[in-house]
Structure 1
Amino acid sequence: MCAKAANSIENLFSLATRQHCMWKFKRYPVTSLSKLPSENEAALVPLCRVDGIPSLLYTVRSQHLWYTKGEISFPGGKNIQDETIIETACRLTENDIGLKPEKLDIWGHGPSFPGRDNKILVTPVIASVEELADSDLNVDSKKVAEVFTVAIEVLCDPNNQFSGKSNGFLLPVFAADKYIIKGLTAYITHVFLNCALSKDIYNNDITKRKKIMITS
């Protein structure tokens, strides 16, 4: 009963959940590639309380960008030389949406997942924000069109869970109001929820979900 209670939505910000989540996250199976991409990116997965409600933060990329325009993604981007993956995630999050590193409680990072037609490797960095306010954000409109949050409870609701094929893989898809979260962003969301919550709260078997058409 104790383990079950620890892995609940209410206890997502607890030390016990953090430790359990990161232990599972670092050991999560990854698709092996015959040739590893040379480009690495970091993606910050911000677990936030918004008006007291545990939520995940996402961005809608600006239409000014040529390769990710209009996409829903976590904050982040290309890892540069002499910078750790966590430093990259924090720097680009502040650059893109103004969320300062001192607001972030870093949990750690997981394994790297292939993205963008297997041309890059993306490493998720998990961080929590005890209470997120509008004043914490200063969005760079040249890079980000919109920032929004989705309650964990919404992501755990089977009525909001779908699946779709992308690059030959069956991936989870989440519907939240007007937003459709898909691709690698949806997969990282799925992995995080699998690692952070018990099966009775988040039990998303994507092979059994309604399939919808998604574009890359």
Structure 2
Amino acid sequence: MCQSTIPTLLSPELIVRALFFSPFNTAAAHARMSPQPRTIVRPPHLPGEPNTGAVLIILFSVEQTTQVIMIRRQEHLQYHPGQISFPGGRREVGETLHETAIREAREEVGVNASSLTLLGMLTPIYVPPSDFMVHPFVAWHNGQPEVHADASEVAEILMVPVARLDAPSSRGREVR
């Protein structure tokens, strides 16, 4: 059995230090967490620009365990139906990327933006099926957030212990 290398309880300070740790091999981290080999940059032969979006990785601690909010997307959605993801979506005109991440989290899971502390931004990642360049942001919520799913987009809200994300059983691919 593989033990996680992620501590069960993380502090916002420790998370901020990890966000700015240098050097960090982004490509290796993405490859480790991907269910299959994939590109993290947009192929140069594609025309135009990719769609731009942002996600919010909301961390909080409950019972000495740091957890993260994830969602299972509705099956009827055009892109990524039924997939597990972080709350997020397309940037609207006039928004900054962090505003997009916070707005989408509020819309999809009902989290109160004023209760979040933005900790930083991770490396953007290209998502080929929807031609999106996704900009991930990390935020801290003191205590367990009150959430409610936007039923038009979110089938289920998941509160996942961060240490579980490091388990090999958490990475996989389901073919539909």
Q: How many residues align?
A: 156
Q: Which residue of 2 aligns with 1:205?
A: none
Give the Cα–Cα distance (whole angstroms) in 1 for the partners of residues 58 and 147 of structure 2: 13
Give the Cα–Cα distance (whole angstroms) in 1 for the partners of residues 138 and 160 of structure 2: 16
Please tell me whether the aligned partners of residues 25 and 110 of structure 1 are also in contact (alpha carbons under 8 angstroms): no
> Which of the numbers 147, 151, 154 marks the counterpart of 2:164?
154
Please tell me whether the aligned partners of residues 45 and 75 of structure 1 are also in contact (alpha carbons under 8 angstroms): yes
Q: Secondary structure at the match of 1:117?
A: helix
Does 2:47 align with 1:45? Answer: no
Q: Judging changes above 3 Å, is the alpha-carbon distance between structure 1 residues 24 and 149 closer, same or farther for their aligned structure 2 residues?
A: same
* TM-score of the superposed pair, with normalisation by structure 1: 0.63
Please give the root-mean-square deviation of Cα atoms over the aligned residues, in Å.
2.6
Flag structure 1 segments of 5+ consecutive residues without an equivalent: 1-6, 163-173, 175-180, 183-212
Q: Structure 2 matches for 1:1-216, cutoff 5 A? A: 8-10=7-9, 12-15=10-13, 17-24=14-21, 28-30=25-27, 31-35=40-44, 37-117=49-129, 119-133=131-145, 136-156=146-166, 160-162=167-169, 174=170, 182=172, 214-215=174-175
Q: Judging changes above 3 Å, is the alpha-carbon distance between structure 1 residues 19 and 48 closer, same or farther for their aligned structure 2 residues?
A: closer
| Alpha-carbon shift at residue 18 of structure 1 (Å) | 2.9
* TM-score of the superposed pair, with normalisation by structure 2: 0.76
Give the Cα–Cα distance (whole angstroms) in 2 for the partners of residues 62 and 107 of structure 1: 29
Give the Cα–Cα distance (whole angstroms) in 1 for the partners of residues 23 and 155 of structure 2: 31
Flag structure 2 segments of 5+ consecutive residues without an equivalent: 1-5, 28-39
Q: Which amino acid aligns with 1:96?
A: E
Please tell me whether the aligned partners of residues 51 and 131 of structure 1 are also in contact (alpha carbons under 8 angstroms): no
Q: Secondary structure at the match of 1:128?
A: strand
